[in-house]
Structure 1
């Protein structure tokens, strides 16, 4: 039996309660030990599935504990980098929610600290741990679609609650930072290509936060179109168009939660093959892969599916989108 990685969580975010904390609790090789939160009432939902969870009200005190090996950080976006730095300086491995930073250059300090300490620090980018994305990358790299010509992706949900952190500029809200990381990052990861230029943006703001963003770009060998929105009913898809085939993913980002995790592959003769991946928990897989990388040591960190360098590439694209936008 391998070493068990003992986890602490900084902040009782709802997403942590519903998705990531249960995943840490369920993952092989992981043990959920402590939660730091400003409100003990928020901890009740966590203790419902993990009764032995130790609840604290001091983030720094959690980081000082000797019985914590790794921390998960689901705090508001603008707090990700400062607390990730504190955690690594306290000797903890770090899994920090997306987007890991508010600007690409902020990630450089995390990369340097990761390399200096030998600790694993990564963005919580769960989709690359799901087998459907490994399969998509295999299809694309194997030439099943021929020459890739265009990628089109869509991700939306409706969140009109203005008090929510996603609707507040001071906490780094907006659809681009919240879900654009998926539409942009998944394309980069699956194709292995980077955007050469952002050719067009159509971004609508409310309360100085983007609630709708249409982005066109040219990658190295294909054109790209993406829409993200926090004011459209929940929907998501991504389609890769090649000269010899088409690949469409029905639930690329919230596998099974949005709908069946199906992949449609249409060949040059119009024949369609559907692959279904079943009820796979990508959050549990993410935690298990993280723990395995920690146990394997620093040399294995470069093989972790989503490195800080991967996250920096997506953040760089986001930075360019905001720079290109002429509102």
Structure 2
């Protein structure tokens, strides 16, 4: 398979630590260019990718004829704008989540994707990790009986007022930043969509720093209760639990697998010993890039589309609208 030549729009810290190295390491991919006007920010990228071309603007990278796909890690409020520009320039797009600030913004992007005949999607990396494929399989098989409740916690402590995650003008807050994990992980695994929701939200300087969501999700076999907490002001914690009438699935490091700890699942079933599956050494960012390449080059299925992203953003919109 011919490798896809990638460019990155912006030298973000996340791109430096995770996605840049993942593109460089993935089979079927080659990191070819970076757009930044800062030589200081470009230097660590060039350290692990010596052949990297550095463009001094995003437009210059999009004009690079050798670049076939772009990864966009810009602030949340810029995602739609630069995804549209990348498609117009003839590039495939992998854009960080949330790809939009409202679900209605994603429709024009879907139309642009289809008109260009290119692939564009949100970088929702967890669906590429085999632990989430396993959770979905167990739920489909009814391994815990009838699913009756799901709960999620995702928190970290980021009090820096200058950080873009704490600034309203860049789309900051726990709901835009990590709500997609707390909400769409359950949507994906249980093939469910939200029913009635109620949100308790606490804000600082115009951005939410704590959100507790309770309500109902509706899946193929009916409704189940749901609760989720996201926060950017609590000690780091992440866990997802699916509870049925005959068992329980616990996802121990559901979102930052391999970074916040080793990915592992526990399946508890009435009258049986616990089953524990561990996933050492798996890099979900690399898997995401490799699946992207196989989809483009070979037409292989891809587990997260813009339509999936739009449904996830619709749930985020619904959470905000349901504030108590």
C-alpha separation in 1, matches of 2:38 and 2:101: 26
CA deviation map 1:123-176 (0-9, x unaligned): 001100000000000000011011000001000010000000000000000001
CA deviation map 1:3-61 (0-9, x unaligned): 11000000010000000000000000100000001322111111111111111111111
CA deviation map 1:176-235 (0-9, x unaligned): 11111001011000000100121x211110010000110012111101000000001111
Which of 306, 319, 322 is matched with 1:321 structurally? Answer: 319
Q: Equivalent residue for 1:91?
A: 90
Which of 199, 204, 207 is matched with 1:206 structurally? Answer: 204
Tell me if 1:27 matches 2:29: no
C-alpha separation in 2, matches of 1:148 and 1:224: 11
Which of 291, 307, 310 is matched with 1:309 structurally? Answer: 307
Q: Equivalent residue for 1:290?
A: 292
Q: Equivalent residue for 2:228?
A: 226
C-alpha separation in 2, matches of 1:260 and 1:35: 31
Q: Equivalent residue for 1:164?
A: 163
**What secondary structure does 1:304 align onto?**
coil
C-alpha separation in 1, matches of 2:86 and 2:258: 33
Tell me if 1:36 matches 2:48: no
**Within 5 Å, which residues of 2 pair with 1:1-327?**
2-198=1-197, 200-220=198-218, 221-269=223-271, 271-297=273-299, 300=300, 303-326=301-324
| Number of residue pairs matched by the alignment | 320
Q: Which runs of 5+ in 1 are unaligned?
A: none
Q: More deviation in 253-262 or 270-279? A: 270-279
Q: Displacement of 1:246 after TM fit?
A: 0.2
**What secondary structure does 2:103 align onto?**
coil
Runs of 4+ in 1 over 4 A off after TM superposition: none
**CA RMSD for the aligned pairs?**
0.9
C-alpha separation in 1, matches of 2:54 and 2:62: 13
C-alpha separation in 2, matches of 1:310 and 1:216: 22
**What secondary structure does 1:48 align onto?**
helix
Q: Displacement of 1:271 after TM fit?
A: 2.7
Q: Which runs of 5+ in 2 are unaligned?
A: none
Q: Displacement of 1:270 after TM fit?
A: 5.5
